[in-house]
Amino acid sequence: MEAGLIIVVAIFIFVAVTIAKGVRLVSQGEEWIVERLGKYHGTLKPGLNILIPYLDNVAYKLVTKDIILDVQEQEVITRDNAVILTNAIAFVKVTDPVKAVYGVTDFSEAIRNLIMTTLRSIVGEMELDEALSSRDKIKARLRESIADEAVDWGLTVKSVEIQDIKPSPSMQRAMELQAAAERERKAAVTKAEGDKQAAILEAQARLESAKLDANAQVMLAEASAEAIRRVTGAIGEQTGPMLYLLGEKYIGALDRLGQSPNAKMVVLPADLQEALRGLVGRMGVRS
């Protein structure tokens, strides 16, 4: 009795296992690779699938939805020997499960390493400034470079995004020092240029002032000469008007002398007219 029960239970378990191995439900967004006796036999699509138990084996289960691959940060040396840090993220899709399984050991790791090596190669052909400012160009070249290899592995690279591209910490410090030195140089040049312009303007101002002073002196001399000619023409040979003018100026000078705070005493000649006549006489002799 007990032996019969054991046999029934064993048969029940065998049937359950057989059904479980023969009937497979594949979820949407997945495809399963089936091997028969160790050799590729077929690909199970989403839905209900029937297999031959114990002969067919589900060897791989692949996700056919978009796969996000994070490419780790790495150091890259540019053409001008600058060190920058860059990382990326790739969006790939399995379009041929057979190639993805049998074409490469681990397609995710293969794509990740391919992106890293290709990224180093592309950035290595650029100078630092070009690499930092050409993110879209790098992305386009990167996607184009890995597309053919990805097809051989049954993958489609939908997009590759450069997450970050920046100078290394040591390079960033060097750039900051260089920028500070450049700012100081520009400030020194600007100051020197300002001093130069100020000196030029000051010299031009002195020159204009000297020209104006010279012109003023010439005009005063010409005015004095003209005044003398007119006075001479008006007086003629008569000494009376000349004595009057000289006396008026003489008295004005004495008046200013008397008003000076330093003047204690003003002495007037006894015969002012004779003094002026003598002055006129001496002027006549000189002339």
* Tens-place pLDDT, residues 109-130: 999 999 999 998 998 888 888 8
Task: Provide the percentage of residues in the chain whose pLDDT is more than 70.
Answer: 78
Domain count across the chain = 4
Q: Does residue 287 lie within any of the structural domains?
A: no
Same domain, 128 and 84: yes
Mean of per-residue pLDDT scores for the chain = 80
Confidence grade of residue 199 (pLDDT, cut at 50, 70, 90): confident
Same domain, 224 and 241: no
Same domain, 77 and 156: yes
Same domain, 152 and 78: yes
More confident residue, 132 or 248: 132
* CA neighbours closer than 13 Å in the CB half-sphere of residue 60: 21
What confidence tens digit (pLDDT) does each residue in 148-170 have?
Answer: 888 889 999 888 888 888 887 77
Domain that holds residue 224: 169-234
d(CA 51, CA 24) in angstroms, rounded, equals 8
d(CA 96, CA 80) in angstroms, rounded, equals 41
d(CA 132, CA 82) in angstroms, rounded, equals 11
Q: Does residue 229 lie within any of the structural domains?
A: yes
Q: Does residue 124 lie within any of the structural domains?
A: yes
